[in-house]
Amino acid sequence: MMPGLFRTVFFALLMSVSTAAAQDGELPAVPPPPAPQQPVPEAPAGPEQAPPVTDEVPPPPPSYEAPPPALACVPDCRAGYSCIEGRCVSACNPPCGPGSVCTAAGSCEAATPSPPVSDIPSLDELRPRHAHDGFLLRVVVGPGVSWARERLAGAGAGEDVGRSGLSSSFMLDVGYAIVENFNLRLRIGGQVIPSPTVVVGGEERDVGGSADVGSGLLGLGVDYYFMPLNLRVGATIGPSGISYTDDAGDEFSTDSGLGFNLEVGMEWWVSTNWGLGGAAVLWLTNVSGQEGTESFGDDVQHRFAGIGLLFSASYQ
């Protein structure tokens, strides 16, 4: 017990003396013992070393790319099919069998047979459709043969005067189809016999080269076309007169009488609206109670007749 107590007292005294000396500047203070330091681990020896430090900037990480959009079906799939990755796939699973179709609800139903459709058009469908409808414009010209006669209407004296020869005709028609293939039209026309042969009382008379006779007509007419032959028949009636050039070169014209045209013609289409063809035309004019070119008095009957084979051009 004593040696331990003695050591304790000795160290206490020693510490008191050291502290007092440090305060008086005689002895330096004893620093406290240093804190223990942790050992620094050494780098392991071997081929793997830490990467060297450089000034290069590391590349940025790869950017995010959105997945490609889903493929669309162009045009849209019909009823009973769904678009999957750009393909139209039957909405029915398993697929419908022969004779059945898949509906939009995803169920199979019996298919309704469709009528057969021909992919090749017929010749009638390929041909342009020609019809006589709407506005009508027609020109008719050509040669013919015509006669004109003056005759005393009452009983008694007088000799008939006849004129005949080759004639030329011109007719212009303007109208409209009131129903398809049936035209109502207005006609302006005339026939002329240049230098006719003149017969008076049964004897031929020379009246020179300047004498002629003709007839004019302004009338209302109709036409009907028989299709698809494009054959037409027509008639015209209206006021008509006759004009003469006598053997002395003087012109004489009658008043208006009654004129009539009857014709049969046929045309061929050369375009959608134009048709070319021909027609046979009968021309009749009758004027009564007129003065004559000869000394017949005032009760003379004038007649004009002609037949022509004419060229026609129609727009409709």
282 close to 262: Cβ distance less than 8 angstroms:
yes
Q: What are the boundaries of each domain within the chain?
A: 72-107, 134-315
Please report, to the nearest 10 degrees, the dihedral formed by the alpha carbons of residues 238, 244, 250, 253 taken in order. Answer: -20
Q: What is the pLDDT of residue 150?
A: 85
Q: What is the pLDDT of residue 173?
A: 97
Report residue 194 as tokens. Answer: 């240049």
Which residues, at least 6 apart from 291, have a Cβ–Cβ distance to it below 8 Å? 297, 298, 300
Measuring CA to CA, which residue among 204, 170, 202 is closest to residue 187? 170
At 81, phi and psi to the nearest 5?
-130, 150
Q: d(Cα 310, Cα 140) in Å, to the nearest integer?
A: 6
Q: What is the pLDDT of residue 296?
A: 46
End-to-end Cα distance, the chain? 155
DSSP 81: E
Q: What is the pTM of this model?
A: 0.56
Helix (H, G, I), strand (E, B) or coil at 41: coil
Q: d(Cα 97, Cα 82) in Å, to the nearest integer?
A: 18
DSSP 105: T
Q: d(Cα 160, Cα 294) in Å, to the nearest integer?
A: 9
In angstroms, the Cα distances linking 177 to 72, 174, 183, 184, 284 are 56, 11, 4, 6, 26
CATH of 134-315, one of 3.30.1280.10, 2.40.160.20, 3.50.50.60, 2.40.110.10: 2.40.160.20
Burial (CB count <10 Å: 0-12, 13-18, 19+), residue 100: middle
Helix (H, G, I), strand (E, B) or coil at 178: strand
Q: How many CA atoms lie within 13 A of 184 on its CB side?
A: 2
pLDDT along the chain (316 residues), means of 10: 60 62 51 58 55 66 66 82 83 82 82 68 66 93 94 62 92 96 96 88 68 92 94 96 80 89 95 93 88 59 94 95
Pairing outcome for strands 161-179 and 134-152: antiparallel
At 278, phi and psi to the nearest 5?
-140, 170
Which residues, at least 6 apart from 59, have a Cβ–Cβ distance to it below 8 Å? none
